Amino acid sequence: MAKSFEFGAFMEKFILQPSSPQQLPLSGLTFAVKDIFDADGYVTGFGNPDWKRTHSAAISTAPAVLDVLRGGATCVGKTVMDEMAYSINGENIHYGTPTNPCAPERVPGGSSSGSAVAVGARLVDFSLGTDTGGSVRVPASYCGILGFRPSHDAVSTSGVIPMAQSLDTVGWFARDPVVLNQVGRVLMHLPNVDPVRPSQIIIPEDCFLLSSIPSDRTTQVLVKSVKKLFGGQILKHVTLGDYVKEKVPSLQHFMSKGNEDHVYNIPSLAAVSSAMQLLLRYEFKNNHAEWVKTVNPNLGPGPSERIWDAIRTPEENIDICHSVQTELRAALTALLEDKGILALPTVPGDPPKLQTNPATVEVFRVIAFSLLSIAGVSGFCQVLFSLTPPPPPPTT
């Protein structure tokens, strides 16, 4: 199939067959993998041609990929990603920007852009991506599909090029919630069990105020659905920013960085984002500074700035970042108690249009990371679903 008919989702096509011909949980399903996962005999490209040129073919396949193959699924290829995973836009100057099947005039989201597009365009049944700061959740949101970022360390990241090990997770995309569930059980080696009724569903009112989407399309739909399924008594409303500020004292270090002046943001959550970004830059530097300095790769705007900023990051205050992680995890555990759910917007609005002014995108990005960093820093899992009906199948 020509690339133009594949929405620009794929880096390369190949077939990896299931390990067994017998009927298995994922039998009959096809999937694709982000070009950050090792596949035996193929060079893992990491979204950049200079990386691909300077690295050898993998000599083994990532355990996460092997798990879904053993679960009965067939891999059909590797997908386009943002350079070195350092963007949530989904644009790549070298390999092209995958076309958002839900909104072709808008970015698909990244860095797992091709994986989300392949699912949204119905080219595969599910796909694998990675999520460090939001790279599964954002493209799932933009492409109108389901996405799942598991709890940190719940799925093996062996055989996956690291970005920041304290934050890295293997995530996945699907259109069908049954498939999303099946893939998760295979990846996390979990038995089939009956759904558990949540003890409470918490709605952080301040987080929804960051969204440009009208409340009749967000909170009102959410509240109505919860009441229909479980009854209104299960709902709880909180101001998450105030709670986090009180329960995560180590954030004071990052509150002094100008977050109080961001009228469009929640200061404590902006501080959580600042801690996450510092930790991400520090660990990215440790992982990739030597290669970047040696090769001086050709990088597109956006990723280039962020990558070189990371390379120049001073090695200080990292212990405070780890304290923020520990405190936020404890705070959310106490808030959610047993079987509680925190329902919040993934991003603050519709995906930016292609070629949007970088300054406008940056404001959107800052708010988005305040929301995304809640799961990212705490290490909690997050499932992404749309409150609006899925788009019709794209035509080719």
The DSSP code sequence of 196-256 is PPPSEEEEEHHHHHT--S-GGGTHHHHHHHHHHHH-GGGEEEE-HHHHHHHH-GGGHHHHT
Beta-strand runs (E) in 164-205:
169-174, 200-204
Q: Which residues are designated catalytic?
A: 34, 111, 135
DSSP 8-state symbol, 395: P
3-state secondary structure of 268: helix
What is the residue whose two structure tokens read 């989300």? 116
Whether the bond into 304 is cis, omega within 30 of 0: no
Q: Report d(CA 331, CA 227) in Å as an integer.
A: 26
C-beta atoms surrounding 250 within 10 Å: 18
Q: Edge to edge, what strands does the sheet with 340-342 contain?
A: 235-238, 200-204, 340-342
* Spatial distance between the Cα atoms of 239 and 185, rounded to a whole number of angstroms: 33
Sequence-ordered list of residues with C-beta below 8 angstroms from that of 56, at least 6 positions apart, any chain: 43
Residue 390: partners with Cβ closer than 8 Å, 6 or more residues away: 144, 145, 175
d(CA 350, CA 334): 32
Q: How many degrees, rounded to 5, is the angle at CA 277 between CA 297 and CA 138?
A: 85
Task: Tell me the torsion sign for CA atoms 154, 157, 158, 163.
Answer: negative
CB 382 within 8 Å of CB 375: yes
Contact criterion met (CB below 8 Å) for 62 and 37: yes
